[in-house]
A and B are shown apart, each in its own frame.
Chain A
Amino acid sequence: MSETHGKPLDLDAEDVTRFDLVREGARRDGVEIAYYEPRFDPSEPKGKREKRIERVIALMLLTTGVAATAFVVIYGWWDWKYELDGETDKWFTPLLGTCMGLALFGIGGAVITWAKKLLPKETSIQAHHGGASAEDEQQLTVATLENMAEETGITRRPLLKGALAVGLLPVGAMAVVPLGALIKKPRGELFDTGFSKGTRLVRLDGSPIRPDDVSAGGIETVFPGIPGGTTNHYADSPTLLVHLRPADAKKAVPRKGQSDFNYGPFYAYSKICTHAGCPASLYEQQTQKLLCPCHQSQFDVLEGCKPIFGPATRPLPQLPITVDDEGFFVSKSDYIEAIGPAFWERP
């Protein structure tokens, strides 16, 4: 590397300056300092410009000091605690950000200005020895590698070869197998929800619902009336109970074989979008569409919630409902198909 540029320097020669040593060090590292010029001659008194630059840098560092101190003070003593109608606390985060930002800008600006305006101008050229190694080097390394294989004599010892395979493959398996603890067999849960025959439809607070609780043109998010039915444990069960206005109810065309799933003008559809599982619950009561806010699939409520726009391919499943002896809504059975996004095993 060192032979590439110039002649080697006699380090002990009398007139060698320190920069000569620097240059020599660089040369030995394959670097030629092609152009080097101090911005300000250190032997001359400081000029106006140099002084100005120094002042600017000092000012930046001062800013840092002030801002960082302000950060500490604000962090420690500001009335920061959040109150809904508090006045001062809303300034806590912006003030901290400003102080931290200014402090960092100060250091950054100072260091960069120092480097740009005070350090000598320099252009260095480093030789680039990319590419493959010399052929003889390659040859030697390959020989070493081959010799390693030879030394083990693996080719001569088929028994050991086999024994290695037999012995080590299971070790690999042993390393991977504990991940098997993660594996769970997908069960029927994918196909069923919290509803079954006679499950009451309840509100978020667990109270059951009568038909006259939902106004015409209204919707209610309902859950299975079982323990934990309104929790995320039954995240697949939220259902949208729609009460169609009389004029719309007349126009409703249920899906094939589901003409008795509704209870008069009351229709219950799964709230979980058949596309990606978001609650498709943006109900337009005049145009009778249900919209999913995640990927904009749209469903026609009057036609069994069949998809009419967007990426969804399947209608929202309909929950068969009726009213029990006490006049509360109940499901006649669980959904007759899997709710939510499709998957491989789903017909």
Chain B
Amino acid sequence: MKSSVFAKMGERFRRAVVLLLALGALGGLYAAFSPTSTAKDGVNTAADEATYVREGQKLYSEGCISCHGRNAEGVTDRGPSLIGVGAAAVEFQVSTGRMPMARQEAQAQRKPPVYDSDETTQLAMYIQSLGGGPEIPNGDLREGDMSAGGVLFRTNCAACHAFSSNGGALSSGKFAPTLKETTDRQLYAAMLTGPQNMPVFGDNQLTPQEKKDIIAYVQSMKESKDPGGLGIGRTGPVPEGLVAFLVGIVACMFAALWIAGKS
């Protein structure tokens, strides 16, 4: 027996679900930004340094050795050599949770870090001690000229990470990640070392000051408010078109239904 009441409720329910989904999608697009910063400059003396390297080696032999090899020389088909990648690369990979990697995949994903910031520094210093490489300078990495950074960002970074720094798709399932949660140090490290498919922007190419300019621009843009209301993801015409239909035209159609409905 088919109940008309249920059918009708079903219809209303469906409408409600569609509406909720639509609104949910919009809400999802509009997510808040939360700035974080983990400046790490607590290593002062040579003695400290030696301890840190030793601790780092211990961590390495527990967590990294199986893929990167006994002396960080790399293991074929499992992990690359880490000699010469520098502390910056280690800090980026470990502090964004990309390393240790859960499994082999096209692209390591950002996830909650396994090591705390102290341990990350220890690991970084251990790898640095093996073969040198780029390091992240200490101090305020945001001390730069925003608008100069903006010009550089749009020329060098926006193509992959988008104007809004929300990220974008690359070929075959790879992607340039959003910079939403990226800290100053991570931004700096990423430019310096070119993790995964990102090209390297060495210090001769983007000077340390230019890197700070870019960081100043990216971080201030991320934290900046949307003067025009909800940012709907700052993703451009795709969510805008959705809103135009799902909010604008749907609202007008409901009004039309009301006006033409019998009273």
Contact = CB atoms under 8 A, between A and B. Distances in A.
B216 to A, nearest CB: 11
Contacts of B201: 215, 218
Contact of B263 (A116, A285, A287): A116
B66 interface: no
Contact of A287 (B156, B174, B226): B174
A286 interface: yes
A279 B204 contact: no
B44 interface: no
Interface residues of A, number: 37
Most chain B beta-carbon contacts within 10 A, residue among A94, A204, A218: A218
Interface string A78-103: 00001010000110111001000000
A25 interface: no
B171 A291 contact: yes
Contact of A289 (B171, B259, B263): B171
Nearest to A97: B229
Contact of A94 (B171, B194, B229): B229
B204 A215 contact: yes
A128 to B, nearest CB: 21
B200 A216 contact: yes
Q: Which of A108, A217, A221 neighbours the largest number of chain B CB atoms within 10 Å of its CB? A: A217
Given A112-B258, A218-B194, A282-B170, A293 B227 contact: no
Interface string B128-143: 0000000000000000
Given A112-B258, A212-B204, A293 B229 contact: no
B90 to A, nearest CB: 17
Nearest to B192: A215
B3 interface: no
A117 interface: yes
B224 interface: yes
Contacts of B174: 284, 287
Given A90-B227, A221-B155, A291-B171, A214 B205 contact: yes
Interface in A142-193: none
Nearest to A278: B159
B196 interface: yes
Among the interface residues B159, B168, B255, which one has the most CB atoms of the partner chain A within 10 A? B159
Given A213-B204, A213-B205, A285-B199, A279 B159 contact: yes
A248 interface: no
Interface string B194-212: 1011111110110000000
A215 B202 contact: yes
Contacts of A210: 204
Nearest to B162: A293
A95 to B, nearest CB: 10
Interface of B is mostly: loop
A261 interface: no
A220 B199 CA distance: 9
A214 B203 CA distance: 9
Interface string B161-187: 000000010110010100000000000
Interface centre among B170, B174, B201 (most CB of A within 10 A): B170
Interface in B68-88: none
A310 B196 CA distance: 23
Contacts of B227: 82, 89-90, 92-93
A214 B204 contact: yes
Interface in B237-263: 255, 258-259, 263
Contacts of B259: 112, 116
Contact of B220 (A84, A117, A204): A84
Majority-rule SS of A interface residues: mixed
Contacts of B225: 90
B207 to A, nearest CB: 10
Interface in A185-231: 204, 210, 212-221
Contact of B159 (A90, A281, A298): A281
Interface string A108-119: 100010001100
A108 B155 CA distance: 48
B156 A221 contact: yes
A300 B77 CA distance: 23
A204 B155 contact: yes
Interface-centre pick from A97, A210, A212, A282 (highest chain B CB count, 10 A): A282
A219 B156 CA distance: 9
A218 B263 CA distance: 69
Nearest to A113: B263
B228 interface: yes
A287 B173 CA distance: 12
B114 interface: no
B209 to A, nearest CB: 12
A309 interface: yes
A71 interface: no
Given A93-B228, A94-B229, A282-B159, A287 B202 contact: no
B160 interface: yes
Interface of A: 82, 84, 89-90, 92-94, 97, 108, 112, 116-117, 204, 210, 212-221, 279, 281-287, 289, 291, 293, 298, 309
14 contacts: A82-B227, A90-B227, A112-B259, A117-B263, A214-B202, A214-B204, A215-B194, A216-B200, A217-B194, A218-B199, A218-B201, A282-B160, A284-B174, A284-B197
Give the 6 A-B CB pairs with smallest separation, nearest first: A215-B202, A218-B200, A284-B197, A213-B204, A215-B200, A116-B263
Interface of B: 151-152, 155-156, 159-160, 168, 170-171, 174, 176, 194, 196-202, 204-205, 220, 224-229, 255, 258-259, 263
